[in-house]
């Protein structure tokens, strides 16, 4: 008994559990805490549908764990991912528009498609080594893309189509597809050969995982992309920052001054970071493992938190500062003098302050929403290139966010000339033409946040021919912005890392307009970020290389340099317009007439002055006149 009591466990010593028991214990704690956790609704938020707003009720509610599992391993998700995979391989393939029920399904489909494209060569070797197509040749003919997408997912989940071995996913009849079921059945029948083929390929490459078999550059990008934080913009049209933060804290999120301080033991927790004082007071940061929780949160579904990448946020900051600078110049010029317009009326744009803004190319709505947030209610954002499905998508997103001061234009910006009555009050243009997107690290997040039309450009390699063609289109867009006579500032931005699309392109376009009277020049942008500034002799710009913190991007500010006229040029121009009267000669200054004398006294004094002037003047000499001569021949006078 003594020996038994001596071996009694000390309460201060923690009992070590096996990894499996520790995992089950952690899952049980998470499940119990989530059941007890309740997500109260915000009273300040407008949960009801706003006027003219079209919302999908199914996509605006949180998704349970069971529903996530149904979506993750459903037959329809593999079918949509296969269609995206074909589009990534060849963008000339005509695919019907893919509709997604919610954000989670969209992220899952794009993740499967890009992963299959990344490991395409390895998957082909595995299928060839395992003689899979020799046994199921019909699958190669009709369903090759689906086999590629499903095989990688089959391998990632331990050669099964579920989260665990014991838990089986039941597919309802609505989402059941016969050809997907046949592929799953073929994988289970060929499981041993597929597993052996994967092992042989790893041994041949001396790699412990499939990720280790990728090229070093692709491997580095994947590692950076997996560590990218999620940034969200606090929508001021719905709620304020304090209300959002209190809601997150009540839902279990823990505030941290910096997410870089998180240790390894704090992984998989719910955290967020926020700048209470500084330039980024309307931006929240979440760690990478919280993305699903944030996307599925009611605040994100109600557009109270709008996902926005950090580079896009910095671009919008540059646009806002350029807009504020234009407003200051207008107010300063109006303080000295109100400039008359051509019709004789006052220029009301000078009086009211602010200006209209042009966005050359449409996005999914996050960039346009932030631009509209700092414009006044009487100012508008003109968005070009909104036609077809793109116009419907942009309008839906902007209405969900609560934006109303925008104008969607179906014309392409390249077909617009500077003399347009609709754009007469435009002083700022945000130039965001298509680029190679070579600085993008996390492709899935970028496509979901920036628009699905960039999927084909992300899948193609940035060849010199492609870069040259994009650079010509970008240069043409910048030249068109120069044709607007009232524009004072232009913000050019791209997600490219090639100088041919960035500073070299801008410098080349600026050199081509040297003969212009009012030239544009590159100016300093975001001065408070000098630590990541890259300067050149011809101007200043902001260029950030891709890293584990954010994607690579480029942004610069072009300001119109107005030539100051000299005084003589101003007087000459005024004389030509008849504003100045020409004098015949210099006026003689009258002497002796005091300025403060009455008119009749002044006239009398002037007469006296004239008499005095006549006396003092010498008499003129008499002219000799010719007379007759005398007898001696001399003249007589």
Closest alpha carbon to 238 in 150, 299, 148: 299
Within 254-409, residue ranges assigned H as helices are 291-295, 298-301, 310-336, 348-352, 366-373, 389-401
Beta strands in 178-331 (DSSP E): 230-234, 254-256, 271-274, 283-286, 305-307
Q: Per the annotation, does 412 bind a ligand?
A: yes
How far apart CA 402 and CA 369 sit, in angstroms, is 9
Query: In angstroms, how far is the first alpha carbon of the chain from the final one?
Result: 175
347 Cβ contact partners less than 8 Å away, ≥ 6 residues apart: 338, 339, 340, 341
Q: CB of 151 within 8 A of CB of 128? A: no
Residue 251 burial (10 A CB sphere; 0-12, 13-18, 19+): middle
Q: What Cα–Cα distance (Å) separates residue 548 from each residue in 143, 221, 227, 262, 477? A: 36, 8, 6, 15, 31
Task: Report the C-alpha dihedral over residues 230, 236, 237, 242, rounded to 10 degrees.
Answer: 90
Tokens (6 digits) for 381: 């954002």
Tokens (6 digits) for 636: 């007589």
DSSP character for 68? H
Task: Report the C-alpha dihedral over residues 625, 629, 630, 631, rounded to 10 degrees.
Answer: 170
Helix or strand or coil: residue 629?
strand
Q: CB of 245 within 8 A of CB of 274? A: yes
Binding-site positions: 412
Binding-site positions for S-adenosyl-L-methionine: 412
């Amino acid at each position: 008994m003594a020996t038994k009591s001596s071996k009694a466990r000390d309460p201060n010593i923690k009992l070590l559990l096996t990894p499996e028991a520790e995992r089950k214990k952690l899952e049980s704690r998470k499940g119990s805490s989530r059941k007890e956790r309740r997500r109260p609704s915000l009273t300040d938020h407008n949960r009801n549908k706003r006027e003219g707003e079209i919302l999908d009720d199914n996509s605006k509610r949180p998704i349970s764990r069971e529903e996530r599992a149904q979506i993750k391993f459903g037959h329809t998700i593999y079918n949509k991912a296969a269609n995206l995979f074909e589009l990534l391989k060849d963008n000339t393939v005509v695919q019907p528009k893919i509709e997604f029920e919610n954000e989670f399904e969209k992220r899952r489909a794009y993740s499967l498609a890009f992963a299959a494209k990344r490991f395409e060569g390895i998957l082909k070797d595995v299928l060839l080594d395992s003689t899979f197509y020799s046994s199921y040749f019909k699958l190669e003919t009709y369903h090759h893309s689906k086999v590629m997408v499903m095989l990688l997912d089959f391998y990632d989940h331990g050669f099964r189509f579920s989260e665990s071995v014991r838990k089986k996913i039941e597919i309802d009849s609505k989402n059941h597809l016969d050809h997907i079921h046949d592929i799953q059945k073929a994988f289970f029948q060929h499981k041993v050969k597929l597993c052996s083929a994967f092992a042989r390929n790893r041994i041949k490459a001396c790699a412990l995982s499939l990720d280790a078999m990728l090229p070093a550059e692709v491997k580095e990008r994947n590692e950076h992309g997996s560590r990218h934080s999620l940034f969200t913009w606090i929508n001021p049209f719905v709620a304020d920052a304090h209300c959002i933060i209190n809601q997150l804290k009540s839902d279990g999120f823990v505030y941290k001054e910096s997410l870089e301080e998180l240790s390894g033991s704090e992984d998989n927790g719910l955290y967020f970071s926020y700048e209470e004082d500084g330039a980024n007071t309307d931006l929240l940061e979440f760690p990478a493992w919280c993305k699903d929780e944030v996307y599925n949160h009611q605040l994100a579904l109600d557009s109270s938190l709008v996902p926005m990448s950090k580079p896009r946020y910095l671009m919008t900051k540059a646009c806002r500062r350029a807009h504020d600078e234009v407003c200051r110049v207008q107010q300063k010029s109006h303080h000295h003098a109100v400039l008359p317009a051509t019709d004789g009326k006052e220029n009301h744009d000078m009086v009211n302050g602010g200006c209209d803004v042009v966005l050359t190319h449409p996005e999914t709505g996050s960039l346009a929403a932030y631009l509209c947030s700092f414009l006044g209610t009487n100012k508008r954002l003109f968005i070009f290139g909104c036609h077809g499905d793109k116009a419907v998508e942009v309008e839906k997103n902007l209405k969900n966010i609560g934006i109303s001061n925008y104008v969607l234009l179906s014309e392409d910006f390249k077909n617009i000339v500077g003399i347009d009555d609709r754009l007469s009050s435009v002083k700022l243009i945000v130039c965001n033409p298509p680029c190679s997107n070579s600085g993008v690290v996390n492709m899935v997040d970028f496509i979901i946040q920036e628009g699905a039309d960039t999927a084909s450009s992300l899948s193609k390699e940035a060849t010199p021919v492609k870069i040259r063609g994009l650079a010509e289109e970008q240069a043409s867009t910048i030249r068109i912005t120069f044709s607007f006579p009232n524009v004072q500032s232009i913000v050019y931005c791209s997600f490219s890392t090639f100088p041919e699309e960035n500073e070299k392109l801008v410098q080349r376009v600026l050199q081509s307009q040297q003969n212009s009277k009012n030239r544009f020049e590159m100016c300093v942008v975001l001065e408070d970020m000098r630590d990541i500034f890259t300067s050149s002799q011809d101007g200043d710009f902001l260029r950030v290389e891709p890293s584990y913190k954010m994607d690579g991007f480029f942004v610069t500010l072009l300001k119109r340099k107005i030539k100051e006229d000299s005084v003589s040029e101003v007087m000459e121009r005024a004389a030509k317009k008849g504003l100045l009267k020409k004098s015949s000669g210099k006026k003689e200054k009258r002497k002796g007439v005091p300025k403060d004398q009455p008119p009749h006294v002044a006239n009398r004094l002037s007469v006296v002055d004239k008499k005095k002037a006549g006396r003092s003047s010498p008499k003129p000499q008499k002219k000799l006149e010719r007379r007759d001569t005398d007898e001696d021949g001399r003249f007589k006078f």
